[in-house]
Structures are given as C-alpha cells and as structure tokens.
Structure 1
Amino acid sequence: MRELYREVCALLFFRLGITPTANRLYQLVKRGSMSTPTQVLGEFWTELREKSRVCIAHPDLPADLGAAAGELVVTLWQRASASAEAALGALREGLEAQRVEAQQSVVAARDELGRTETALEQRTAALLAAQVEVRELEKEQAEAHGQRQSLEAELARLRDALAARDRELVEVREGFSRDLEKQREAADRAEDRLRASEKRALLEIDRERGHAAKLQKEIDEAARRADRKDADHRRAVDTLQAQLGDMRHQTGVLQGRLDAAEAENTRLQTELNAARDAQARARDPHRSAVPSKSKNSPRATRPSRAADAAKPGLRRKKAV
C-alpha cells in the first residue's frame, strides 16, 4: 500500500508536474488511513532532497568548501529546472493556445461545411424547382404556341370578315347618302311649309293677343266694379251690425226694466192678497177654519200672473 502511494506521488510530480498532497493522494488511492499518505509523502520529499543534493568529492578540497560547492550546484540546478519548467509552461500554453485555435478552426470549418451543405441542399432544391418550372414553362410555351396558331387563324378569319363588313359599309354609306339627300329635300319642303304655317300662326296669335287684351281690360273693369260693390256692401253690413248692436243694447235695458216692473207687480200683488186675508179674518173670526173667498182670490189671480208672465215673452219677441 505504501509503495502504491509512493508510485502515485512519483507520477503526479514527475509525469504530470503536480505537487502531491496527502488529501490528493488519499482521494486517488482511497486505501488505509490518513496517516499513511502523510508518512509516504514525507518519505518522498526526504528521498527527493537526498537525491537532489550534489556531493563534490576531491582529495584536496575542504569539506565546507565542498558543501558550499554542492549547494551552489543545487541552486544552479534548481534555477535551471525552474527556467526549464517556465519554458515548458510557456510552450504548453502556446501549444494549448494553438490547440484551442485549431479546435476553433475545426468548429468554424465544420460550421462552414454545414452552411455549405445547407446552401448546397437549398441550391439543389432550387435547381429541382427550376427544372420543374422549366418543364412547366415549356409545356405552357407549347400550349401558347398552339393557342397562337389558333388565334392567328381566328385573326385571319376576322380580317376577312372585316373586309367584307367594310365593303358592306361602303355600300350602306352610299345608300345612306342617297337616302339622306332625299330626306334633306323632304326636310326643305317641310321647312317651307312650316314657315308658312308659322306665319299664319303668328297672325292668329296677334289677333288672339288683341282679343285677350280687350277681354283683360273688361275683366279688370268688372273686377273694379265688383270691388266697389263689395266695399259698399261691407260698409252697409258694418252700419247694420252697429245698429243691431245698439238695438240689442236697448232691448237689454228695456228687458231689465220690464223684469224690475214685474217683480214690483208681484210684490204688490202679494201685499194686496195679504191685506185682503187680514181684512177677511177681521170681519168673521169664526170662518177662519173654512176656506173663504178671500183665500180663493189669490188663486183666481194666478192666471193673470201667468198671463203677465207670458207678456214679457211676447214683448221680447216683438223687440227681437
């Protein structure tokens, strides 16, 4: 087990350039107790110092000078080792940088290769699509060529039909010109007749205008006479309405007086009947229980009252 720890220390220090520690050794080996890697590590450093110590032996060289020379050689060796390790570290860093750069170049090359493959696939797909489009265009071109031939044949037929139509149009124009000339002559004759009719119509219109002016004057005169009569009638009606109002006022006044006289007459008749009754009772006190002629006298006067009441109605009718 101790030899295993010693071998691990040697590998870490000489092969990997890592300073060994007790914890690292125990983590790597994981055998025994924690004191074992500590003891092995101490023995390793002691042995390493013994081996690294330089002994200079010479018959005439003093011991202290030989020790000093050995220490000098050790110092030189340590410095040379440090320089070598520094150079080795720099070389390792350079190599690591080159390795990282190479890896980056590889990654970039792979990315570029992926993009190139993608572009190639896209171009291949575009090429296939273009080939399909070319085939479709060739097919459409063939169809268009057939349509063009049919259209050219149709165009030739239409040109022939147009030429025939032009000839017919020339003939129709000639016939139309002849008909138009006839129509113009007929229109001239009709215009002459129209002018003669217009002259006669103007003369008749002038006569009718004179007659209409005369009738308008008569109508205006009749309207003025009617206005004057209407004004006279209105004045007469206003006068009669004023007289009627006065008469109604007078009738009202007379009716009031008549009503007052009738009321006074009724009051006097009542007083007269009361006086007659009193006089009759004074003459014969025993006959007060029997109906007397004096009591019947008011009843006899009632028709006269009704007649008197009817008289104002007659008077009112006469007044109206």
Structure 2
Amino acid sequence: METNSQTSGRVVDAPSGNFVYQILPRALWPYAQLARWDRPIGWQLLMWPCFWSAALAANVAAGEGHFSLGQFVGHLVLFLIGSIAMRGAGCTYNDIVDHRIDMEVARTRSRPLPSGRVSRFQAKLFMLAQALVGLVVLLQFNIFTIVLGILSLAVVAIYPFAKRFTDWPQFFLGLAFSWGALVGWSAVFGTLSFSAVILFIGAVAWTIGYDTIYAHQDKEDDELIGVRSTARLFGDDTRAWLVGLYGLTFVLVLTAFVAAGVGLVAYLGLLVAAVMLAYQIAVLNIHDAADCLALFRSNNKVGLVLFAGLVLALPFA
C-alpha cells in the first residue's frame, strides 16, 4: 500500500477526483492531504458551529435594533477562512503526533507522513504556516474573542493524545470542533451568554455522535493497536447512545433558540435537522465502513439546515 501511495500520490480513503488534484501541482499534493483539502467535510463541520452562533447572535442583534449585514457577512467569511486554516493545522498536528499509529492502520497508512512523501520537519513548517493564517483571522475580532480563540488551543493540543488515555477522545474533539459556537457570539457582543454556552454544549454532543459513527470505520485496527474511542466503548449499543447524544443536541439547541428569542423559521430548520439525525440512527450499520462514512458526511447537511433556518429567521430575510 505504501508503494501504491508513493507512485499515485493519493490517499486510499480520500476521493481521487477532488479538485485539489486538478488545480495543484503534484509536488503540493502531500500538503493538501495533510490539511485534508481533498476532504472538505472536516472544515465544514468545524465551520457550522461558528456559523450557527454568528446567525444566532445576528437574530438577537436584529431584535435589539443594531444588526449589521456587513458585519455578519464579514464574520462568515472570516470563519470560513479560519475553519479551513485551523482544521488543516489541526490535522497536520494530529498526523505528526499519530505518525507511528497511522503506519499500523490500513486506512491511514497511505497518508503523506506514514508513506514518506513528507518529512516531519516539512509537516511542522506547514502546520505553523496554517496556524499563522488562523491567527491573522483571529486578530480581526475583539479582544475577548481573541483570548477565547487562543484558549481553544489547549483543547486542540490535548485531542491527539486523548485516544491514549480515555475511551472518550470524541469528547475532546467535540470541545475543539464546537468552540466556534462561543466565538461566533463573542465576535458580535464581546462577551458570552447563556444561549451561546448552551449552543456550544449542544454542538459538543452532536460532534461526539457523528464522530462515533466515523470511528466505527477503524474499530478493528484500533483494538489491535490499543487506540480507544467511543465506537469501541459503545460497540453494539451505539444506536442507543446516539439516541441520547442526538436527543441532547436537539434539546440544547432548542433551549439556545428559545433563550435567544429566534423566529419560527429557525425552529423549523431545527426540526428538519432532528429528522435528519433520526434517519442516521435508523439506518446506521456499524459493521459497514462505507455506510458509516456516508452517514458521517451527511452531517454537513444537518449543519447547513440549522444555519439556513437561523438566517431565514432574521427580520430582513
């Protein structure tokens, strides 16, 4: 497998027809793979809590009579750039930490570091470059938000090691991927509120749920090399756990909406998202890796539906 990846320049679990292979020179492919540019689902899932929070804050600001469309759109652009940059930096960091583990897992063996197409030094330089882009984005916000963003780095630093000391590494991923639910609000108001914190906790539950589905792809390899995960912990009871996690997500996001006083369309969006999550639970086959990956990716649509509901609930929409 290593030989194939070296000659083809591809990663076995990434779509070979992705645009990065059409527009980037071959020499840059390993870096695109380190950043997972050929797998956009990661930055999309990182972005949605930012977008939800920004839209939730926009609803409150509109109700108070000081909504700014320019600020709202500007923040969304910054969150998009920041999500791509920081997801890429996080993935690169994770691959550096997990270099040896990735060599033992069939699905990850062809990644740039284990396959030898990138050195650890090159990966570290690339990680720093992406982190600098994220820092530039963060510096566009108020001081409170800058400090809040810097604090998230502690969680990001811990996450790659979590699978070594806890059965709940997905919880740490949830903290990292949901941090935007705090930042989106603070970027508008320069502080936090009950609505933002509850939205954050709801996003954490959502992340644990969808990443458990994702982790079922690797559970056999994980068991062999001693890597821990909620997929291994939940096992055949995964569906029941997802009912609890996704149910908690629904209740907490609903509570955040009520506390913020959003309009009816936002609740309709939440209802549609809840149906989509229920569908994931109903059709999940934890023994089918392709099915797990497809259901995991479907959470991008869940994020989009929730965001669309909040945007359409704005007075100008």
TM-score, structure 2 length as denominator?
0.16
| Higher RCO structure, 1 or 2 (CA under 8 Å, sep 6+) | 2
Instruction: Report the structure, 1 or 2, having the larger helix content.
Output: 1
TM-score, structure 1 length as denominator?
0.16
**Greater gyration radius:** 1
